[in-house]
Amino acid sequence: MKKFYTIMLAVLLGSIAAQAQEADYQPLVREGVRWVNHSQYVYSEDEVYFGPVNTYTITLRGDTTITSPSGTHQYKQAIHSMYPWRKIYMRESEQKVYVLDSETYGPDEEYLLYDFSDDNEAKLYSPEGDETTYVREGSVDINGHSCRVYKGDFGWLVESVGLVSRCDGDMILPRWARVAGGEDNYGLDHLEDMDGNIIYKAPWYEEPTTCMPLVREGVVWQYAYCIFVSEAVGAYTKVLNIQFKGDTIMNGVNYKKCYLYDSEELPANSIPVYYARENNGKVMFANPRHEVIDTIGTDTFMPEIPGDLFEENGETVVYDFGDMPNFAEKIYAVIESTSEVEVNGMPAKKYHLSTEGTYGFDYVEGVGVDGERSGVLFLPFVLLSTGYVSNPSGLIRLADLDGNTLYEGAYYNTYYGIRYDVNHDGVVDIADINILINVMLGYDVPVGHQGHDTIPVETAEKIMDMTGDGHVDITDINILINKMLGK
């Protein structure tokens, strides 16, 4: 008799446990939730290139009764934003999730997709009935509920979520084979409610940043580029301009065209020297054209870039304002301080970095590298070899297309001091104006404190061209007179 009661107690406890498990189970097929996923096409012909990342969503809505060979059941329609025309329906029973996709897999025949009925194992099924087993790993809190997590070959199966994978499919379309050549990678980013509140994040989810964009049109980066003349005279400063203008698609990825020029305006026949794009604070440059850069005399060479700054599609990560501490570590630099500056009247973060063998420099959101010997936008000094750079560059300013200053760089005051003090004696006076008059008249001119050196007129025109129009004339003289008078 005692044995009978023991058996009955065990059965009763098992029944209570099963009911508790059933009561605690969080259904996957429900409304009021949005699955937010990513899709990225991978080009795999001669080389591997990753296309742009697109975001798409899945939501479940309504109640539809459908009769199929498996019986008559009530389903919710899965609205897939990438395939809005597809009629995909889902239902759930006894912790098992079924899918009916007649357009793809046959005339109104459903198939089992997930089985969460076992506390220790969960199963993922293909439409053909192939199964993959996932082993219980733990639990995760989702919207105030404890949901079971199972680990397997394709990522995780999560109660109330479904497949959580970076590239093996989404909640209703898990992938079962990798095709040769180009392929689409799908994965889950997060789950959110209909108000946009995130209730579950995939392990690789990246918090969105609020960085000021750097890769944008309507802005000109102006750099002072030093050109050595002689020991006595020193160097004169030339202005290099960088501008983004126009879009192009390369290897399936959308980029802004990046131009480098030393004229007052961007020439109509200019060739891009780089292509650039930005994603969540990370700025990437691709396809360097050093032969184009060299034609205007900048002596640029391929930088000595740490290997982990290269992306798989050949891009170089030049900035990452979304994760600056991690980026600084990759370029062997230390963030000494973080502050806030204004760029066109808007707040932007400024990081002061230093690295062994280089000068200190700043990385500024929306601006890039800023320092008197820090290189240019796409080749900051820190990415170059740590040896001596004979022609250092520095940021003068950011300007809009009307010439208004949006941000003053570290070289701003230095550049304008050099620009107007043409004989390098420390003051702007009548002696500087006389030199400009001689240059305008075509004479070689003496310079230096004692006037021992003479600069050919061709070189002098480059040094003393105030307007940047390529020659010295009365306009340049008027500018210098106004500067002397403090105007």
Asked whether the predicted pLDDT for residue 232 surpasses 80, the reply is no
Report how far residue 111's alpha carbon sits from residue 101's, in angstroms, rounded to the nearest whole number.
Answer: 9
Name the band, by pLDDT with cuts 50, 70 and 90, for residue 135: very high
1-16 average pLDDT score: 48
Token pair 């009530």 is at which residue?
74
Domains and CATH numbers, the chain: 27-201 (no CATH), 219-417 (no CATH), 421-484 (1.10.1330)
Report how far residue 145's alpha carbon sits from residue 148's, in angstroms, rounded to the nearest whole number.
Answer: 10
pLDDT at 385: 42
Is this structure's pTM higher than 0.85? no
Report how far residue 234's alpha carbon sits from residue 280's, in angstroms, rounded to the nearest whole number.
Answer: 43
pLDDT at 292: 37
pLDDT at 330: 82
Asked whether the predicted pLDDT for residue 482 surpasses 50, the reply is yes
- Higher per-residue pLDDT: 450 or 110: 110
pLDDT at 287: 67
Q: Which of 80-84, 244-248, 371-375 has the highest mean pLDDT?
A: 244-248
pLDDT at 179: 44
Report how far residue 361's alpha carbon sits from residue 380's, in angstroms, rounded to the nearest whole number.
Answer: 9
Name the band, by pLDDT with cuts 50, 70 and 90, for residue 306: low
Least confident of 305-314, 318-327, 373-382: 305-314
Q: Which of 2-6, 278-282, 342-346, 429-433 has the highest mean pLDDT?
A: 342-346
pLDDT in tens, 260-296: 988 878 999 888 988 899 888 889 888 654 443 333 3
Tell me the average pLDDT of the chain.
78
Asked whether the predicted pLDDT for residue 130 surpasses 70, the reply is yes
Least confident of 78-92, 164-178, 298-312: 298-312
Q: Which of 134-143, 246-255, 405-414, 441-450 has the highest mean pLDDT?
A: 134-143
Name the band, by pLDDT with cuts 50, 70 and 90, for residue 115: very high
